[in-house]
Amino acid sequence: MAFASIIRKSANSLAPLAVRLTRVQRNYHSSIFTALSRGLQSQQPAVNRFFPNTFRFSTAVASKKPSSDESLIRVLESEIQCAEEEDGADQVEGTPSGFPFEIEDNPGIQTVTLTREYDGELVKVDVHMVDHGDEQEEGEDDDGDDYEKQNKISIPLVVTVSKKDGTSLEFNCTAYSDQIVIDSLGFRSPNTEDELAYEGPDFHDLDENLQKGFYKYLEIRGIKPSTTNFLHEYMMNKDNREYLNWLKNLKKFVEE
């Protein structure tokens, strides 16, 4: 009996200890679970923050100019600088004294238009860009003859002399530094369809005196070497200006 009483007392004394141990275990596991849950939740925003940064980085890389474009821009900038220096050196200061024509020069257009009235006629000259002639031939001395090189430079001209009734003469000319050559001559009438109009013989097949007469006809209307000498300088300068603007437009396009 005494032994049984001892066992019951021991059991009664151990029961509260077992309950406390069970509570400790439950609290321990609960703490672990809570810690894990909080850890996962704290890691989730970091994952979400990582991918947007990656997307922003990819967008920044895609928007950056390729290296080939950057190289092209640098070359264009160098060429623009050279063209600006040349343009500044070749400026034409106003028209010469006694120049009889009004000049219409629109940026971006290849031609310049000259106009004047003469004895009831309208004289119009369409001046085209400079033709620099043939390239240096093989074996030619680099120094060469400056006069011969200058003489290769020419300007195509279309001279139209119109009467009040609408009839006109049209001359296709080539202007060199010291002379003007008439390449062709045509008569225009508003009552005749162009495709049916008789064009006349080749100008160079006309009688020599008739050819000289037409050269004099143009000269008294202002188409003479002193005029075309100024046009040579003017059109060379326009050529540089148009080239410079063209380069700037290309650079702007590549940069955008």
Structural domain contains residue 129:
yes
What DSSP string runs through 132-169? Answer: --SPPPTT--SS--HHHHHHH-BEEEEEEEE-TTS-EE
47/120 same-domain check: no
Per-residue pLDDT reduced to its tens digit, 91-103: 666 788 889 999 9
Structural domain contains residue 73:
no
Q: What is the pLDDT of residue 146?
A: 56
Q: What is the pLDDT of residue 93?
A: 61
CATH number at residue 231: 3.10.280.10
Count, residues in the chain = 256
Structural domain contains residue 8:
yes
When mean pLDDT is compared over 39-43, 93-97, 211-215, 243-247, the highest value belongs to 211-215
pTM of the entire predicted model: 0.66
> 59 lies in which domain range?
1-64
Higher pLDDT, 29 or 126: 126
Structural domain contains residue 31:
yes
216/224 Cα distance (integer angstroms): 9
Residue where the block lists tokens 């151990």: 14
Q: What is the pLDDT of residue 95?
A: 83
Q: What is the pLDDT of residue 133?
A: 67
Look at residue 148 and tell me whether its pLDDT is greater than 70: no
Higher pLDDT, 239 or 139: 239
Q: What is the pLDDT of residue 173?
A: 97
State the helix-helix crossing angle for 225-255 and 67-89, rounded to 10 degrees. Answer: 160
Tell me the mean pLDDT in the region 204-209: 96
Number of structural domains in the chain: 2
What's the chain's average pLDDT? 76
- pLDDT class of 226 with cuts at 50, 70, 90: confident
57/91 same-domain check: no
Look at residue 50 and tell me whether its pLDDT is greater than 80: no
